[in-house]
């Protein structure tokens, strides 16, 4: 017999080999696969008010000395929260890379230098931590913020803007420097070091702005990337709903490398300017209003090699790149440790060699390292606690990775597909997958029921009995489980996941009067209305209605159709008016199944699809004895067209009956 080999990722999205992505259980993709949508992330970046600062020529000179002249020139860029959220679902903190189905990709030091114009070479950004703002603000800003503007070692951005946004042109140099430090703190707190608080920035950066010439010697670009890596890793956990860091960098990186959600630019922006993030400034044509997380997720799940730009900067004018930036681009291939105070993250270009025009080989295993967090004690010098990480950064030029021209990339892809998460969303709907599982369980149960135990030892016989028991128990649980209907939007799903709305976590919602409108709330995988057939889920299910005058009525098969609104058909006795159809205004997708209700009275309108059905239980009926048992109970001799593998009869009788040891109440 010829066996058809199915795609294993349809039911198991990976990783098949969990040695690399060892934190899969904590990752958001696990929750998404289980139907738990969190919606779009809240993106914290505060660039919209940067242009409200008025800087004097002297201040601009100091900002450029400090190394932030190019960052200052980048205007606010509208963030595409759903796109960022979908990218986060593909980020893995075990490797600090995006796991796409074409291979691993990441934001590198080269990207930071070219997109933001920040220095990626120099001294590590590290220093003292603070739990109070008063002393450090007084020393470097000449003013102490009121208690309402501070929280621990953080100060509100609004306080900085309120008191320092305008510096008099004729101000003394000390005042000018204080105003400039306040601006720099606001700048980094709004962009590269934006926090999930939404409106605060740590004051620990202020001492680094004391000497503007010395400030320009720090590797601010490397620190920005360390901060973004940490933010991506945190946001990729299924317990999180926000993301911080330089999201302008992330979004522009995506625009350059992936043909996903990329807007069309105005013609006057097509010429090359530095930094290259300016390529995406201004109003972009092409609406993305109808694109949600699910849209981008599906796009990334089906990403093709032609949708990837491995070398997006090669056609841009290199003459616009400053020499000090150009000379440091070699560090884009440095396998090193990135540092931003307490945040140390690995930079692993050896996993993304195609972003440097090289062939990708199977990379070395990533050494697990402890991600440290800032201590609570004020005045802590973090350099003493991060000696190993600092040593790796000092050796950054000694660890430049190279490719191998003789590499067979097919070997890499074979390895990669085993260790990665291929799909984030389900390729098939939950209802379809349930149907497949149900069919498989019935096949297993049938094999176990008919398997000959002749010649087997007691242990083998016990194993067969155990398999039979488990299969029948699973089938029984599927018959009596609840029905869930989803009509919620993605936004509502995200709100509920973040606790913004109270929902019932058991059952299918609030029970209303039988003649009322029924609403159902549940989170579906693809945020499309779906019917999760966990109450009655049998392939090609036919339910027949038997009234008092007929032993077997016409069967109504429903195969692979979507009904909206679903018409739940209930036949009532003596329905002279012909009003035997009741509509439940709920969008339900039914896969190869049909709901039928046996009715013995007048009041037959369902109040809730998931509610108990009075005096009735649907049970799986063993096909080997079905006709015999039916004839015995009903007295009918001619019941035709019944196949126990895919048909269930609602049988009306005057008293309780037993079919295959299952007691059925009278209807």
pLDDT tens profile 145-182: 999 999 999 999 999 999 999 999 999 999 999 999 99
- Structure confidence by residue, pLDDT tens digits, 379-391: 788 888 899 999 9
Helical (H) or strand (E) element with 664: strand 662-664
Rounded Cα gap, residues 533 and 589, in angstroms? 9
- Structure confidence by residue, pLDDT tens digits, 544-572: 333 333 333 333 333 343 333 333 333 33
Q: What is the pLDDT of residue 271?
A: 64
**315-319: average pLDDT:** 90
Q: What is the pLDDT of residue 526?
A: 39
**209-224: average pLDDT:** 98
Q: What is the pLDDT of residue 639?
A: 38
Q: What is the pLDDT of residue 393?
A: 98
Q: What is the pLDDT of residue 87?
A: 99
pLDDT at residue 186 greater than cutoff 90: yes
**637-659: average pLDDT:** 39
For residue 138, how many other CB atoms are within 10 A of its CB?
A: 12
Q: What is the pLDDT of residue 354?
A: 98
Q: What is the pLDDT of residue 605?
A: 39
Identity of the highest mean pLDDT range in 43-52, 61-70, 71-80, 311-320: 61-70
Residue (of 589, 594, 539, 528) closest to 564 by Cα position: 589
Indicate the pLDDT class of residue 285, thresholds 50, 70 and 90. Answer: low
Q: What is the pLDDT of residue 263?
A: 86
Task: Identify the residue with better confidence: 438 or 5.
Answer: 438
- Structure confidence by residue, pLDDT tens digits, 337-360: 999 999 999 999 999 999 999 999
Tell me the percentage of the chain whose pLDDT exceeds 70: 66
Q: What is the pLDDT of residue 459?
A: 92
Backbone angles phi, psi at 413, to 5 degrees: -65, -35
Map residue 583 onto helix, strand or coil. strand
Task: Identify the residue with better confidence: 184 or 564.
Answer: 184
Domain boundaries, the chain: 8-419, 482-664
- Both tokens assigned to 181: 């430090």
191 burial type by CB count under 10 A (0-12 exposed, 13-18 middle, 19+ buried) = buried
Task: Identify the residue with better confidence: 532 or 481.
Answer: 481
**371-397: average pLDDT:** 83
Q: What is the pLDDT of residue 272?
A: 76
What does pLDDT average to over the chain?
76
Q: What is the pLDDT of residue 64?
A: 98
Residue (of 232, 205, 195) closest to 126 by Cα position: 205
**407-411: average pLDDT:** 94
Residue (of 478, 479, 484) closest to 524 by Cα position: 484
**230-242: average pLDDT:** 97
Rounded Cα gap, residues 27 and 18, in angstroms? 13
Q: What is the pLDDT of residue 368?
A: 85
Indicate the pLDDT class of residue 475, thresholds 50, 70 and 90. Answer: confident
Task: Identify the residue with better confidence: 53 or 6.
Answer: 53
**316-335: average pLDDT:** 96
Rounded Cα gap, residues 93 and 237, in angstroms? 9
pLDDT at residue 416 greater than cutoff 90: yes
pLDDT at residue 656 greater than cutoff 70: no
pTM: 0.68
- Structure confidence by residue, pLDDT tens digits, 81-95: 999 999 999 999 999
Q: What is the pLDDT of residue 374?
A: 55
Indicate the pLDDT class of residue 189, thresholds 50, 70 and 90. Answer: very high
| DSSP state string for 64-80 | HHTT-HHHHH-------
154 forms bridges with which residues in the sheet?
A: 151, 202
Helical (H) or strand (E) element with 560: none
Q: What is the pLDDT of residue 438?
A: 79
**306-331: average pLDDT:** 95
| DSSP state string for 301-323 | HT--GGGB-SSTTTTS-GGGS-H
Task: Identify the residue with better confidence: 322 or 529.
Answer: 322
């Amino acid at each position: 017999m010829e066996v058809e080999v199915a795609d294993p990722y349809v039911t198991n999205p990976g990783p098949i080999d969990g040695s690399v992505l060892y934190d899969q259980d904590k990752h958001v993709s696990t929750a998404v696969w289980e139907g738990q949508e969190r919606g779009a992330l809240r993106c914290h970046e505060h660039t919209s008010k940067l242009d409200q600062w008025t800087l004097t020529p002297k201040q601009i000179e100091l900002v450029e000395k400090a190394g932030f002249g190019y960052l200052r020139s980048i205007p606010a860029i509208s963030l595409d929260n759903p796109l960022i959220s979908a990218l986060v679902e593909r980020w893995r903190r075990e490797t600090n890379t995006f796991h796409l189905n074409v291979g691993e990709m990441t934001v590198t030091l080269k990207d930071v230098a070219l997109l933001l114009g920040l220095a990626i070479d120099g001294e590590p950004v590290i220093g003292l931590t603070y739990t109070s703002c008063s002393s450090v603000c007084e020393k470097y800003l000449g003013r102490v913020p009121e208690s309402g503007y501070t929280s621990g070692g953080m100060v509100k951005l609004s306080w900085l803007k309120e008191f320092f946004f305008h510096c008099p042109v004729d101000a003394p140099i000390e005042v000018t420097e204080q105003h400039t430090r306040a601006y720099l703190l606001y700048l980094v707190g709004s962009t590269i070091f934006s926090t999930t608080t939404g409106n605060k920035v740590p004051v620990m950066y202020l001492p680094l702005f004391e000497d503007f010439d010395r400030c320009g010697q720090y590797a601010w670009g490397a620190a920005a990337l360390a901060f973004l890596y940490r933010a991506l890793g945190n946001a990729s956990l299924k317990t999180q709903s926000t993301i911080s860091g330089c999201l302008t960098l992330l979004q522009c990186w995506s625009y350059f490398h992936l043909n996903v959600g990329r807007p069309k630019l105005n013609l006057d922006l097509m010429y090359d300017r530095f930094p290259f993030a300016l390529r995406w400034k201004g109003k972009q044509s092409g609406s993305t209003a109808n694109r949600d997380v699910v849209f981008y997720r599906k796009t990334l799940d089906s990403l093709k090699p032609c949708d990837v730009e491995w070398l997006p900067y090669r056609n841009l004018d290199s003459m616009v790149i400053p020499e000090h930036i150009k000379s440091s681009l070699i560090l884009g291939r440095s396998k090193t440790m990135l540092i931003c105070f307490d945040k140390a993250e690995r930079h692993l270009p050896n996993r993304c060699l195609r972003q440097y025009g090289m062939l990708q080989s199977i990379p070395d295993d990533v050494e697990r390292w402890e991600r440290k967090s800032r201590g609570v004690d004020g005045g802590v010098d973090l350099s003493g606690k991060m000696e190993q990480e600092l040593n790796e950064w000092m050796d950054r030029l000694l660890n430049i990775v190279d490719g191998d021209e003789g590499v067979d990339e097919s070997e890499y892809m074979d390895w990669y597909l085993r260790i990665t998460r291929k799909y984030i969303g389900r390729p098939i709907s939950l209802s379809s997958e349930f149907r497949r599982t149900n069919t498989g369980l019935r096949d297993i149960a049938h094999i176990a029921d008919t398997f000959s135990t002749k010649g087997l030892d007691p242990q083998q016989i016990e194993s067969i009995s155990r398999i039979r028991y488990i299969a029948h128990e699973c089938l029984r649980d599927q018959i009596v489980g609840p029905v869930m209907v989803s009509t919620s939007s993605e936004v509502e799903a995200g709100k509920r996941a973040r606790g913004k709305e109270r929902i019932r976590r058991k059952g299918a919602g609030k029970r209303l009067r039988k003649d009322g409108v029924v609403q159902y709330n549940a989170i579906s995988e693809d945020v499309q209305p779906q019917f999760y057939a966990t109450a009655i889920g049998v392939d090609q299910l036919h339910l027949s209605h038997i009234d008092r005058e007929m032993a077997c009525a016409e069967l109504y098969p429903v195969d692979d159709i979507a009904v909206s609104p679903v018409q739940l058909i209930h036949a009532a006795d003596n329905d002279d008016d012909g009003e035997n159809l009741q509509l439940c205004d709920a969008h339900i997708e039914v896969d190869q199944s049909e709901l039928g209700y046996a009715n013995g009275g007048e009041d037959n309108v369902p109040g809730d699809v998931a509610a108990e059905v009075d005096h009735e239980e649907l049970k799986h009926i063993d096909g080997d004895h079905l006709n015999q048992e039916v004839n015995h109970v009903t007295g009918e001799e001619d019941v035709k067209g019944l196949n126990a593998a895919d048909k269930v009869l609602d049988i009306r009788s005057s008293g309780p009956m037993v079919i295959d040891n299952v007691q059925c109440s009278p209807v």
